[in-house]
Amino acid sequence: MKVVETGTTNRGEDAADGGGHGSTEETPSATASRTGTTGGGAGPLSGVRVLELGSLIAGPFAGRQMADFGAEVIKVESPNRPDPMREWGRARVNDHTLWWSVQSRGKKCVTMDLKAPRGRELFLELCKEADVILENFRPGTMEKLGLGPDELWKINPGLIITRVSGYGQTGPEASKPGYASVAEARSGLRHLNGYPDQPPPRTGISLGDSLGSLYALQGILLALYWRDARGGTGQVVDVSLVEACFSLLESTVPDYAATGIVPGPSGSGLKGIAPSNIFRSSDGKWVVIAANQDSVFVRLAAAMGVPGLPKDPKYCNHAQRGHHQEELESLIADWAVQYSAGELVRLLDEHGVPNSTVSTVEDIFEDPQLKARDMLVEMPDEELGTVVQPGIVPKLTRSAGRIGWNGPLTHGSHNADVYQGLLNLTEEELQSARSEGAI
């Protein structure tokens, strides 16, 4: 089994994607980091082939993770319309965005026009060799191209077709475009963010897209297991960005059904959960102190030099601390501001109280724990120099993932490798497909 990722969509018309935004066992050579001639590697997904049609984040993020764990990912872009991710991101080196190198790492990139007859033929040939299709078009797009599930299962009944969209493949609003910000709002997730009586802010990343991709990856792995270990067949994995966000609402749904409670934003903490909030240090930094569990609150009281505090009826258990949350957090704030962030962290650590400074990315680059866990991986690149990649998650002890190479900068850089190496096209056939505009 092997993974092929294709991205031929126009984001404004067909894509479900929104905007916004592991440890390695070995570091590849500079040549491998660009050309990808090493293949998919020997990770736990080695041998999986997925045809992924998608751009930007919702979908391709799942493809990136599969590539990290050994899948062969072939990303197909339109010959005339590259993935917009090539232009996204804050930082550029030699006129190339670094975000592209992260999102497309370990993938091979080819071009294909699904609307061209020859392009469609090549896609169907790839489908015969594939295990999974991963796409994030607007629902109905594949069907309009004559490439819906029923057509694809005729040539490969074991094909797992993973579809990521704003609202899912069914329902009265299935055809509406959906982006991360829309999904976060529609799901109820955004209503819970921010401070009371203020506009609900978004996080500084495209959370909804990434959540959708994580569920897409989960669905793919479940479907592969059912097919290969349980004797199942191909099926559709239907992922909605709205539903991915909705799934995180914890007790909000049963609480409302039973009591009619409509929770709102609670600022930097959670209402009734105390103490668990941010507190300012003497040097102006914010430190999270999470001591709402009874036994941990005892340790915090000792750190504060008031070991009798847990015996106070107002703070004697979780429920009472929740009822007197503002008063308790005011006490902790008055204590915390006497110490610098470093002093506060050391004191809390000494007493076993969960805590952390609120890290900037600058802080992350100096974080000894993240360094020890290989969460900052330096990847060589002959055009970009060294690209620092976020590491692989999760860590597997016996079949660890690895980053094969940085995302290929050249549009269609692996056309010959895939079309001649995988589909056995001759040089003449390859040139003919190119002249027809199929690739």
- Could you give the angle at which helices 117-128 and 427-435 cross, rounded to 10 degrees? 130
Cα–Cα distance measured from residue 241 to residue 167, given in angstroms and rounded to the nearest whole number: 6
Encoded tokens for 1: 């089994």
Cα–Cα distance measured from residue 44 to residue 35, given in angstroms and rounded to the nearest whole number: 22
Cα–Cα distance measured from residue 92 to residue 387, given in angstroms and rounded to the nearest whole number: 11
State CA 213 to chain mean position distance.
6
β-bridge pairing 286-290 and 276-280: antiparallel
Of 14, 83, 131, 209, the catalytic one is 209
Residue that has been written with the tokens 């993932």 in this structure:
401
- In sequence order, which residues have a C-beta less than 8 Å from that of residue 244 and are 6 or more positions away? 183, 187, 208, 211, 212, 214, 215
- In sequence order, which residues have a C-beta less than 8 Å from that of residue 270 and are 6 or more positions away? 276
Give strand pairing partners of 388.
378
Encoded tokens for 299: 């340790």
Q: Is 209 one of the annotated active-site residues of the chain?
A: yes
Cα–Cα distance measured from residue 438 to residue 269, given in angstroms and rounded to the nearest whole number: 54
Coil vs helix vs strand at 258: helix
Encoded tokens for 167: 């609202």
Cα–Cα distance measured from residue 172 to residue 170, given in angstroms and rounded to the nearest whole number: 7
Give 366-430 as a DSSP string. Answer: T-HHHHHTT-EEEEEETTTEEEEEE--SS--SSS------PPP-STTTTHIIIIITTS---HHHH
Alpha-carbon torsion 288, 292, 293, 299, what sign? Answer: positive
Cα–Cα distance measured from residue 22 to residue 17, given in angstroms and rounded to the nearest whole number: 24
Query: Which residues are known catalytic residues?
Result: 209
